[in-house]
Structure 1
């Protein structure tokens, strides 16, 4: 199950000129996998290479960014999770990981094509997610990373596709170090899938925050207003930890 081709319209959110206010939808995702598969590298490359300006890094490896995906403004929160090989490795880290699973609305399950153990661990992570989220509609993408290291490959592409089909997930094989576009496509697709499954109350827009438009299209002012909206949510997440 490969990802469909996506447009490249995934930028720092512009300020709308046609309205005094615009709705920002909250998008929370978690990037999970064993140590050394490139989870953090994916997130940082996505945030630093694709966008203009700085991204916010909060406690607990929580990254925040205001983005626009095909016209939808989104307050994106990406949770980077600790890498484990076995449940018994560290109970405290497992607790943190499960907390991330509870708050996330979509997941990237990452393994390295050079590490068969990381591939086997994807099934274990998927089981944990399903225990917390019984709704089979929650978006999950299996990401085979380090696709440039073909001479070190331990996991064939066919194995990744087979596992994704078995678990009912999407699948993509990428190289974080060589292709930033593919990395962006993965995050963009997950944002859209999460947005599709967010509840709609009556005829209202999906849940989110209302940010007033500044008198002039000043990007720094927009970033400041976004931080003001996002800050209480991040604090609330930290307080639950």
Structure 2
């Protein structure tokens, strides 16, 4: 299914100097996929609005930033992952890192390149691994077909991405990180909103429960004191004055 067009403001927020503010919600995202599909470029473009080429750092990196999503302040953490996680060399270490990353994250972007059919085939096992680690979780997953501007080198058709997303029950968007910042922003914005929804209902119930329980005894105590204040025993001394 296609990723819906997003509305509302999505702003990168500076870290406040004062500690006198409400703690933002934590949102932990992981960007997974084969090597050279543009995972890191997507993250960097999203955070800086700058495209710096097919950016693939040699080490894993955790990006942290305060952001606003439609008025809600979020403490966003994005875990970048190394390319070549399907490679046979150091497979044990790669799988161990992948498992830890999947356990840590609450929302996932699965990225492939439309110019690399092998990267497309890597999406299904990645999705299955996420559901294996989170068997009872509704952790949101968005499938992203990147490098949509390289139509001359296309190996994966748009309908292939849509079909895969439908089979897995995920959302799908085909984008060009180098040409369209808004599409990149929409992907992260939507995933942030979906992760926030996972915690909001239960969090609101806990907050209401904690606040409402003490109110009844306090109200009864006030009523009792009010009646005592109107009783003759209490009024007599004041009349003597």
Q: TM-score range by the shorter chain?
A: 0.7 to 0.9
**Correspondence 1:1-241 to 2 at 5 A:** 1-13=1-13, 21-49=21-49, 60-84=60-84, 86=86, 88-90=88-90, 91-135=92-136, 137-198=138-199, 200-201=202-203, 202-204=205-207
TM-score (norm 1): 0.75
1:21 match: secondary structure: coil
Distance 1:131 1:178, change over 3 A: same
How many residue pairs get matched?
194
Shift of 1:5: 1.1
The residue number in structure 1 matching 2:54 is: none
2:23 match: secondary structure: strand
Gaps of 5+ in 2: 51-58, 209-241
Shift of 1:82: 1.4
Shift of 1:203: 4.5
Is 2:34–2:86's contact at 8 Å kept on the other side of the alignment? no
2:49 match: secondary structure: helix
Is 1:82–1:97's contact at 8 Å kept on the other side of the alignment? no
- The structure where helix makes up a greater share of residues is 2
TM-score (norm 2): 0.75
Shift of 1:149: 0.3
1:192 match: secondary structure: helix
Structure with more contact order per residue of length (Cα contacts < 8 Å, sep ≥ 6): 1
Gaps of 5+ in 1: 51-58, 206-241
Post-superposition Cα deviations, 1:134-157, rounded to whole Å, max 9, x if no partner, equal 135210000000000000000000
